[in-house]
Structure 1
Amino acid sequence: MHLHWLIVFLVLTGQESDAENCNDTETAKAKKRLFDRLSLNENYSQNTRMWPLTFHDDPLDVKYFDPATIFVDIYVTSITNVNEKAQSISTQVKMITGWPNSNMTWTPGQYCGIKSYAAPKNMFWTPDICIMESIKTDFGTKESPYVQLRSEGFTVSTDVLALTTACKMDLYRFPFDTQICNITLQSTVYSDQEIILDTLSDAEWATFKSKEVFQAQGEWDFISINSTSSTIGDDIGESEINQLIYQITIKRRPLLYVINIIIPVFFFLVLDVIASFIDTSGADKVSFKVTLLLSISVMLLILYSTLPSTAENIPLIASYCCAVFCLIGIGILETFLVNCLMARGAEKRSAETTSTVSGRDDGERDQKSPPDSVRDQNEESFTLNRLKQILTECWAVTPPNQRKKLSWTRVMI
């Protein structure tokens, strides 16, 4: 069996000590003998300060164990926070690190089948692996003071880390976005000719194991975790450093944003359109539309507090809210214009009605009250006709002997 898969089988299956054909007393004695065999009661500087295979005497064992390879596995156990504004993600991960140490080998059959042994971590050399994107790194629980020694000459360290790492996010499709955040592991001093980082398991197993131990995710769904390798030049520029890059893929759950932002903004636009057909005064329409505009402004403030101000592409949801904001603003201007035109039209119609009524009254007054000259002529004609009627009556009743005198009188009149 290839060493890589042997290590995967031993580390990931987590085989416990197997005290075959031994009682408790014999097992305890075997552990004491193994403790002395591994010289754990002594403190060798070679174990604590130097790469453990530097002074190995058997070159065949060195080639077999591939001593320049350090195996690392990362399992995501929870996603605690994703800060779009700060472009960072907070996760809790389980990090398993394994490296060969041929100075710590034994035959399990000679020690009651003991295949692993816990030893103090400060007694052994540990790889200086750092996380390049780390903003803040803490131990999720208390740091384990022990490492696990395997009988095959393999040392395993398991840590639970609470990481806050930088993550460049593409929020163009927010809140229907999928983000890929990297965790880059590398040594700070060892070049790629001394240390090569590799994975204990493949991406499929790491994804399955992460989903199995996942604790909390909030509004994010964990999709997968993949790994790639690369090399970069060191700061001095004389050599290259090997990197192991884990790519964590997560997807946002958009339901909360759909309910709180997208649907309300759409109904604000519908209400604005409906308000244009309401038969009310212009002031009521304007006040209603201004209220809708202020509501859209609140939505924009919420997006401003969530999305980064330095995004390369404007998110679609921001464009959507701005478009609705502009449409409602244009609707308010349209309401002002329509009200102004209606007011001017009403004034014009009022003026025309007033002038028409005034002309009609003058005509009626002219017909009922003729001019003074006509009225004087009519009065004079009426007086003469009346006098003629009176004279005719007097002539009829006057005796014939007096008509001559009356005739003269009439002439004189």
Structure 2
Amino acid sequence: MMHIVLLFLLVVTDTASCQKVCSYQQVLDHLNFTRLNELYTSTRPVLDHTHLTVVNLDIFLYAILAVIEKTQTFIPFIWAVMTWNNEFISWDPSLFCGITQVSVPIDMLWRPDLFIYEMTEKDAAPHSPYVYVSHDGTVTMEDDLRVVSTCKMDVHKFPFDTQSCNITVGSAIHCVDEMRLVPFSNSSRATQFSLQVMQRQGEWDFLHLSVTSDTLPYERRVMERIIYTITMKRRPLLHVINFLLPILFFLCLDLSSFLISDHRGEKLGFKVTVLLAISVLLLILNDILPSMSNRTPLIATYCIVIFALMLLSLLETVLVTYLMEKDTVPMQETGTDEDHSLKVDWQDKQDKTTVLSCDRDGRRRVLPAYCDVTGGDRTCELLPITAQVSDITHQGGESQVLQQQILDQLRELENTVSHFLRRKDGGWQNPGYWTRVATKINAAFFVFYCVTVAVFLILMYIEWS
């Protein structure tokens, strides 16, 4: 009975003893972790100043928040993991019920003075208030960062461009003789993990995360740094639908304007309206692209060339309209137009006369017409068809069948003459030399316009692709 009681007391004593040391606070008390202990916060945590502090660094990409071409600003959201060794920290896990690591407030330990070279604004994201400390002195720090950094962008192929932005991490004061920066993960592992955790919604599609190390000589010291290069590709669908296609549609409208008659004023107004619409889209493009660029963006070339083609088309329309208007100028009351006019003679106030014309076969016809002279003004009209038929039938005395045939021929002749004769301000004039020149210019320019547009669009597609 006494043996049983003693065994029970030993078990209770061992259990109480284990519960006494199996707490994180016991570990901190053992290490003398306090906010006033300068041993852990004041200097680099090495027992000998010749020892190097090796900092292992990992950066993974969570999301691409924004890429602003106008100011060349890159804003990613990253997850950073750092580990280093504190030579003042160590304990035996077997004495503390197998506890291998504890979490302590971040301001109770020394931290590497790392910063991002490209960062332009202070990080406003909430930071983790704790770090993990292992029994062998390894300190692990994990934190989320919203980085607002500068990025040298090439928008030559906008909106089908691919951008590469750097996040360069280095120490502010420690050189390679005191602290070394080592990337914990290679490029392949960093890319793979970033693809797994990244939020893909947005304008940019993440492609690759490369990791490289180099040194930066500064006065008599050499600083080590790690460069994380984030490669991403723009998703162009939105810009294609909202910008490129509307300009292409306006170009098609300008091509279709060649079907509008040049004698009407609507063609000129239509082309001016389309040109103004392109000008509005150019203003929108000016807000998107950066002010400074090493090379002219292809989209700017695309817009300017199409704008120039439409402007050239407008000038061609003005020229064609001017040439056609020259044939509508009334003839002189006196004199003879040797090239394009019709010869009209009159004798009385209302006299029957003839108009000289040509049919489609090139044979000359003499058409009866009346000219009316009142107060010095002269107006001429073709003799009505019924009157012509009446004259012919009375003179020839033919039958009704012959009369009907003559009537049909005269109607066809009247349509032919009406196509060639114009009346303006009391004068008669046929579509002459300038109208034919304008028609040839319009046809030649249309062929040139179509070929130029096709070649230009093919070249733009090759450059963008």
TM-score range, shorter chain: 0.7 to 0.9
Structure 2 CA distance for partners of 1:42 and 1:84, relative to 1, 3 Å: closer
Map Cα deviations across residues 251-284 of structure 1 (whole Å, 9 max, x no partner).
1000011111111111211110110122264421
Look up the match of 2:463: none
Q: Equivalents in 2 of 1:263, 1:27: separation in Å?
A: 75
Percent identity (aligned): 36
SS of 2:149's equivalent in the other structure is strand
Which of the two has greater helix per residue? 1
Look up the match of 1:10: none
1:176 alignment partner AA = F
Q: Equivalents in 2 of 1:88, 1:265: separation in Å?
A: 28
**Aligned to 2:287, which of 305, 316, 323?**
305
**Aligned to 2:313, which of 322, 331, 339?**
331
User: Is 1:359 aligned to 2:345, yes or no?
Assistant: yes
Shift of residue 355 of structure 1? 6.5
Shift of residue 55 of structure 1? 4.0
SS of 2:243's equivalent in the other structure is helix
Q: Is the 8 A contact 2:168 2:227 kept in 1?
A: yes
Q: Is the 8 A contact 2:118 2:168 kept in 1?
A: yes
Q: Equivalents in 2 of 1:248, 1:270: separation in Å?
A: 40
Map Cα deviations across residues 374-411 of structure 1 (whole Å, 9 max, x no partner).
xxxxxxxxxxxxxxxxxxxxxxxxxxxxxxxxxxxxxx
1:200 alignment partner AA = F
1:289 alignment partner AA = K
Look up the match of 2:104: 119
Look up the match of 1:255: 237
Structure 2 CA distance for partners of 1:354 and 1:322, relative to 1, 3 Å: closer
Q: Equivalents in 1 of 2:332, 2:76: separation in Å?
A: 74
User: Is 1:342 aligned to 2:320, yes or no?
Assistant: no
Q: Equivalents in 1 of 2:193, 2:137: separation in Å?
A: 25
Look up the match of 1:84: 69
Q: Greater relative contact order (Cα 8 A, min sep 6): structure 1 or 2?
A: 1
Look up the match of 2:277: 295
- Higher-Rg structure is 1
Q: Equivalents in 1 of 2:272, 2:91: separation in Å?
A: 81
Q: Equivalents in 2 of 1:228, 1:295: separation in Å?
A: 48
SS of 2:287's equivalent in the other structure is helix
**Aligned to 1:230, which of 205, 211, 214?**
214
Q: Give unpaired runs (5+ residues) of structure 1.
A: 1-21, 366-413
Look up the match of 2:191: 207
Q: Is the 8 A contact 2:101 2:134 kept in 1?
A: yes
Q: Is the 8 A contact 2:261 2:267 kept in 1?
A: no
Q: Equivalents in 2 of 1:150, 1:117: separation in Å?
A: 7
User: Is 1:43 aligned to 2:36, yes or no?
Assistant: yes
Map Cα deviations across residues 133-167 of structure 1 (whole Å, 9 max, x no partner).
001131422x2221110223211111111111000
Q: Equivalents in 2 of 1:262, 1:208: separation in Å?
A: 34
1:197 alignment partner AA = L
Look up the match of 1:105: 90
Q: Is the 8 A contact 1:108 1:151 kept in 2?
A: yes
Q: Give unpaired runs (5+ residues) of structure 2.
A: 1-14, 354-465
Look up the match of 1:275: 257
Look up the match of 1:69: 54
Q: Equivalents in 2 of 1:354, 1:194: separation in Å?
A: 99
Shift of residue 179 of structure 1? 0.4
SS of 1:276's equivalent in the other structure is helix
SS of 2:120's equivalent in the other structure is strand
User: Is 1:245 aligned to 2:227, yes or no?
Assistant: yes
Report the number of matched residues.
333
Q: Is the 8 A contact 1:104 1:151 kept in 2?
A: yes
Q: Is the 8 A contact 2:262 2:317 kept in 1?
A: no
Q: Is the 8 A contact 1:182 1:245 kept in 2?
A: yes
Alignment of 1:79-228 (within 5 A): 79-141=64-126, 143-215=127-199, 217-228=201-212
Look up the match of 2:431: none
Map Cα deviations across residues 153-206 of structure 1 (whole Å, 9 max, x no partner).
211111111111000000011111110000111111111111111112111221
SS of 1:347's equivalent in the other structure is coil
Map Cα deviations across residues 74-131 of structure 1 (whole Å, 9 max, x no partner).
1111111110000011111111111111222223333222222101111111111111
Q: Equivalents in 2 of 1:361, 1:240: separation in Å?
A: 111
Shift of residue 354 of structure 1? 11
2:292 alignment partner AA = T
Q: Equivalents in 2 of 1:42, 1:318: separation in Å?
A: 60
